[in-house]
Amino acid sequence: MEYAILFLPLAGAFIGYFGKSISKYFSEITTSLFVVISAIFSLLVFWNGYQNDIYANYLIFEWISSGSFTANWSINIDPLTSVMLVVVTFVSALVHIYSIGYMNHDPYKPRFMSYLSLFTFSMLALVVSDNFLQLFFGWEGVGLCSYLLIGFWYKKETANNAAIKAFIVNRIGDFGLAIGIFLIFYYFGTINFEEVFQATENFAEKKLFFLGIEINLITLICIFLFIGAMGKSAQFLLHTWLPDAMEGPTPVSALIHAATMVTAGVFLVVRCSPLFEYSHLALNLVTIIGMITALFAASVALVQNDIKKIVAYSTCSQLGYMFFATGIGAYHVAMFHLFTHAFFKALLFLGAGSVIHAFKDEQDIRNMGGVRKKLPFTYLFMLIGTLALTGFPFLSGFYSKDAIIEFAYLKNSSLGNYAATIGILTAVLTSIYSWRLFFKVFHGPYNNKKFSINETNESPLIMLLPLVFLSAGAVLSGYIFKNIFIGHHSNDFWQTSIFFLNEIKHDAIPFWFLLLTPILVLITIPISYYFYILKPEVLMDLKNTNTPLYNFLLNKWYIDELYEKIFVNPAKKIGSFFWKIGDVGIIDKFGPDGISKLIKILSNRTGRLQTGFIYDYAFVMLLGLSILLTYLILK
């Protein structure tokens, strides 16, 4: 069963791609069926682990063996892995089914479905690994698949540019992860998780010089591992690829943001909790970057107009929550939010896809509005997703996101208090931009000038059915799993898969603090409705009087423009210089171009001998005979 979970999506990817000529629906049915089976098996593995404590390491084969060094291909099942298996396979299965309807008219749908399954396999290979090398394989696999899927519509220049950008930005993070793994291997002599984590305490006080600075070994390793996590999970400074990734089809966005690529960074930090717990500096860095990311992405989402980019920045912000949860040592709370977030974020993305489908590929929320009666099911699902994301009481986001804020408060440190404050502020901003999106899409006047409201239609059943399951998860997952994941006996569930050096006790929280965030979130609903539907001119006047601030947020804090000036333009100039001097001036001039030019000159001059007059040919023959006789005589 464990082997099937990993390899069924891989088999589906190959069969789906090469079986596209068998029948019209063969690829989508095969890939979807295999991932659904994998999801069912994942639920069984999770249940067996939770109920019967059945966890094990299943060896596939020995990958590398050199002296005392070994690296295996394994399926390591522990509580952390079992949770990730459920998240990845369940969301992926629903995305596969949804894609059957969403990509119905795309001529390259078999290739798309194959890429989705390959994406799922890569993420599964990452989460079931028992060593850093297999983890790195899956890590690079999801990076490759994201490139293929973001640039799936390769005839669009913007899609190609977005795919390249995602690939390059992630290479920066991957380079940091690779250095971290090299350091672990060099000093620990192994890359197996269990052996590294057991030996961590022995290296807790070890110092080394790096770039002329004395630094703790564990701290240095954790910083490089976190750089890798920053790239994959789109944290501040390495986040720029995430909004551009919306150029891919909507199911891709749902899979990347809810279950696969961006959750890999959070998983890495949680998996390496035995390392991070011995480095206060690294944990503080994680907390600070997470706080900045949460606030930055929420502020930018306030003014974006592309429906998918708003949800994308929401993902970026929620990942910030997860990271500052790990930074304060609440790894289990970060995993709890990752788990619940997967349901309502996939719901929001697929719901957004349903809206885009109804509006004939329109993504600007300013060209929508007034379709709640035309799209009743989509309206309901988007409402549930929005309530869950904003932390509406008793939905999944309420339990997990508020728990992060509470644990930050209970950390009882200056950084913890800052994190709690940023968390509350971000929750308010999240509620504002989420309701802005919801109200502008479904309420108010119909604003599309290209076609009438009567031409908008509800999505087909094949697209709505996955939203039903995701809605159930968005409503119930927080309530059902709260005690299991973060309750007083949560250590019994997580066992040794998460390491706590100084565990935060979830008790003695002031009653006013428990009520603060939910009350603020509830207040923003009527306020948002008033400003975005009843009196939009008020915000328009405010925008006109605060144009610099509006432009600052609209242009995403000008991070892309800053990178353009600091990195992209200088790189282009350097590349242009070496291209003109090196490629054109030397290699081309004296290489293929020079040789071809010389041959052309010789050919032209030789061609002049072909005059067509017999006395010229006779002269050449006599000249050749004379040279031959002279050679023979002298010889």
Closest CA to 77 of 42, 105, 112: 42
Beta strands at 69-77 and 56-66: parallel, antiparallel or unpaired: antiparallel
pLDDT at 33: 93
pLDDT at 609: 65
pLDDT at 635: 66
Closest CA to 430 of 412, 394, 405: 405
Confidence category of residue 412, pLDDT binned at 50, 70, 90: confident
Rounding to the nearest 10 degrees, give the CA dihedral for residues 408, 410, 415, 418: 60
Distance CA 466, CA 591 (A): 59
Task: Give me the chain's average pLDDT, please.
Answer: 89
Task: Give the rounded percent of residues in the chain with a pLDDT score beyond 70.
Answer: 99
Q: If you count DSSP H runs as helices and E runs as strands, how many of each does the chain have, helices first? A: 28, 4
| Lowest-pLDDT range of 495-504, 530-539, 577-586 | 577-586
Task: Dump pLDDT digits (tens) for 214-263.
Answer: 899 999 999 999 999 999 998 998 988 888 888 888 898 888 888 888 89
pTM here is 0.90
Task: Dump pLDDT digits (tens) for 595-608.
Answer: 887 788 877 777 77
pLDDT at 62: 84
pLDDT at 545: 74
Instruction: Kindly list the distances between the CA atom of residue 306 and the CA atoms of 18, 138, 303, 309, in Å, as whole numbers in the listed order.
Output: 35, 31, 10, 5
Q: List, in order, residues 6 or more apart from 512 with CB less than 8 Å away.
A: none
CA distance from start to end of the chain: 85
Segment 561-588 shows an average pLDDT of 81
Segment 364-370 shows an average pLDDT of 90
pLDDT at 466: 93
Site of tokens 């050919």: 603
Site of tokens 């200056």: 414
pLDDT at 492: 85
Distance CA 128, CA 74 (A): 7
Question: Which two tokens mark 586?
Answer: 């030397």
Distance CA 15, CA 12 (A): 5
Q: Residue 630: is its pLDDT beyond 70? A: yes
Beta strands at 207-210 and 56-66: parallel, antiparallel or unpaired: unpaired
Closest CA to 38 of 94, 100, 113: 94
**Would you say 378 and 359 are in contact if contact means Cβ atoms under 8 Å apart?**
no
- Which has more pLDDT, 408 or 616? 408
Segment 564-589 shows an average pLDDT of 80
Amino acid in the structure at residue 106: D
Closest CA to 76 of 52, 51, 49, 47: 49
Distance CA 91, CA 339 (A): 11
Return the bridge partners of 57, or none. Answer: 76
Q: Which helix (H) or strand (E) holds 207?
A: strand 207-210
